[in-house]
Amino acid sequence: MSTQPYNPLRRSARRKVSKAVVLIFEAEDDLQTSAAETLDLSEEGVRIKSPSLLTPGQVLEFRTEDNAKAVRCRVVWTGNMTPDQDAEAGLEFLMPLQA
C-alpha cells in the first residue's frame, strides 16, 4: 500500500527513489553530460536534482550510471534550489515506463 496521499491530478503513482543518473543534452551545439540524482519516480516521469541549468521544454536523455538504456524526457518544470545549490526539475518521459 502506498504511503503517498491520493492526488487526483497525477496520472500515475510516484515513489521515492534516490539513484545517481546521467543527463545527456544539447548545449551550445554540443552534447553535454551532467550528473543528477532522482528524488521520486513514476511511470510518466521523474523528479531530479541537478547542478545543470535546465529549461522547461528542453528535451534530453536520462540514464542510470550503470549505462542502462537511455530514456528521452522533456523538462516540464524547474525550481526549488536545494541546500547544496542543485536545482530540482520535473522530467516527463516521452514514452512512459512499463510497470
What's the pLDDT tens digit per position in 28-71?
A: 888 999 999 999 999 899 999 999 889 999 999 989 877 678 89
> Do 48 and 34 meet the contact criterion of CB atoms below 8 Å apart?
no
Domain assignment present for 47: yes
Report the CATH number that the domain containing residue 89 is assigned in CATH.
2.40.10.220
Q: What are phi and psi of 16, to 5 degrees?
A: -70, 125
> pLDDT tens digit string along 11-30?
677 789 899 999 999 888 88
Q: Could you give the CA distance from residue 59 to residue 91 in angstroms, rounded to a whole number? A: 9
Residue 1 confidence (pLDDT): 35
* Residue 78 within any structural domain of the chain: yes
- Residue 2 confidence (pLDDT): 36
Domain encompassing residue 69:
14-93
In this prediction, residue 4 carries a pLDDT of 42
Number of domains in the chain: 1
Contact 76, 92 (CB under 8 A): yes
The residue with greater pLDDT, 12 or 74, is 74
